Amino acid sequence: MKSLPILVYKLGGASVRDPEALRNVLHLLEHRPPHHHLVLVVSAMGKTTNGLEALLRFSDPNDPACQRAWRQVYDFHANIVTTLFPEPELLLRKMDTLLTEALDWLEQRNRLDFDFLYDQVVSLGEQVSTLILADWLELNKIPVAWFDARQLIRTDATWREAKVNWSGTAHLVRRHLAPLFSRPMAPLVLTQGFIGATVEGKTTTLGREGSDYSAAILSYCLEAKGMTIWKDVQGVLNGDPKEFEAPELLPELSYQDAIEMAYFGATVMHPKTLQPLHDACIPLEVKSFVQPNAPGTHVSSRTKSPAKPCYIVKRRQALLTIFQDDFRFATEGLLSEALQLLQEHRVKVHMVQNSALRVELCVEGESHRLDSLAEQAVAKGWNFTMHKPMILITVYQAGDLKQEPKLRGMGQLRMEQRNANTWRLLFEEEV
């Protein structure tokens, strides 16, 4: 017998952020298409990842401020659990044990690489959210098989930005999930987004907002019929509603447009998500969990580019200027050396302008990485300046737009680039 087609749903933090949202998950599941197997890939609840990141600022887990920060994360989940469950005690105990691991890891901080420690602590958010969700589905008589994503997603040991080992992952997914899906009445599969493990079983994470990517990896390995990202917006809009007034829905996008927009910084999906879906021709829907029957955005290979300009904002950028007055090093040497230095520091480059003696780069990276990069640039004898914060605006499908009222009132313009369909502007961010 041929097994049923598989759908993959990705539920982001907002779709599981409070008791109401968890009730809404039941509604989503009730209205799912019949005769499909379903895989649910779930993020940490609400802003939990930020809460866990905050714990990492403390060197001593017994510091009362650290204990308070931990309590906040615990209480946030406990409130959801005590509101929803008539007998919450056992689940609360399991949650406590799991979250206490964060403090145990902090205890060992001095012996550990920070990025490794980060993955061990921050991955607890997804573990707790799926622990709660599994019990919630069971309480509501929805058969569910909970899987630890670390048994499915195999990665290398690039902590905080792990690279997927595709053949290892495909093998694990087949081994663990195929037997389940060969049954017509399989339970739905629930697993964590964002996390994976090395071959030694050490927990890794795929980069912030990486749950979309997890869902795409599983979709690819399962040859899913479709993947849906459930959001708190209608779909992909032509501007972030937090930044621009009344953005409009883009009903259809090609994979190319979607990957370009995600790369430029559209936060509606993680840029790595598109590649596996494109390679396996799996259509992606981006839909509102508040109005699950509304059409949302459909991403596939068959669509035309959006007819309207799309405005994408990336904040927290830095402008680096490297000036070299020694003519011997003029031209490409400086640029390639600068790019290499950025890569070594895991700093991302979004825009480059160079001349014989000068390179200007719009980059993004954590403060400590930028600081150490600056130190090395100075040690190399470069004339180096760094200006931040900057804000990068990309107008995708800009056509022949010249003056843009939406961009009025920004800070001082420091860099600008334009090509056939893209207009990028880097402003000083007013703080």
Q: DSSP 3-state assignment of 245?
A: coil
13 is a contact residue toward ligand ASP (CB under 6 A): yes
Between 12 and 239, whose beta carbon lies closer to Mg ion?
A: 12
Find the shortest distance in angstroms from Cβ 48 to ligand ASP. 7
Find the shortest distance in angstroms from Cβ 101 to ligand ASP. 17
209 is a contact residue toward Mg ion (CB under 5 A): yes
Find the shortest distance in angstroms from Cβ 193 to ligand ASP. 5
**Strand (E) or helix (H) holding 349:** strand 348-354
Find the shortest distance in angstroms from Cβ 50 to ligand ASP. 7
Nearest to 69 by CA among 81, 47, 54, 80: 54
Find the shortest distance in angstroms from Cβ 324 to ligand ASP. 38
Query: For 41, how many CA atoms within 13 A lie in the half-sphere containing its CB?
Result: 27
Nearest to 342 by CA among 313, 315, 314, 380: 380
Query: Per-residue string for binding with Mg ion, 12-51, x by CB under 5 A?
Result: x---------------------------------------
Q: Pick out residues in 135-194 that bind ligand ASP (CB under 6 A).
A: 193-194
Kindly state the number of chain residues that form the binding site for ligand ASP, as judged by CB under 6 A: 12
49 is a contact residue toward ligand ASP (CB under 6 A): yes
Contact criterion met (CB below 8 Å) for 310 and 266: yes
Query: Which residues make beta-bridge pairs with 348?
Result: 364
Kindly state the number of chain residues that form the binding site for Mg ion, as judged by CB under 5 A: 2
12 is a contact residue toward ligand ASP (CB under 6 A): yes
What is the number of the residue whose Cβ is closest to Mg ion?
209
In the block, residue with structure tokens 């598109």: 274
Work out whether strand 188-192 and strand 37-42 pair parallel, antiparallel, or are unpaired.
Answer: parallel
Q: Pick out residues in 24-43 that bind ligand ASP (CB under 6 A).
A: 43
211 is a contact residue toward ligand ASP (CB under 6 A): yes
Buried b (16+ CB within 10 A) or exposed e, 347-384: beebbbeeeebbbbbbbbbeeebbeebbeebeeeebeb
Contact residues: ligand ASP, CB under 6 A: 12-13, 43-44, 49, 125, 193-194, 208-211
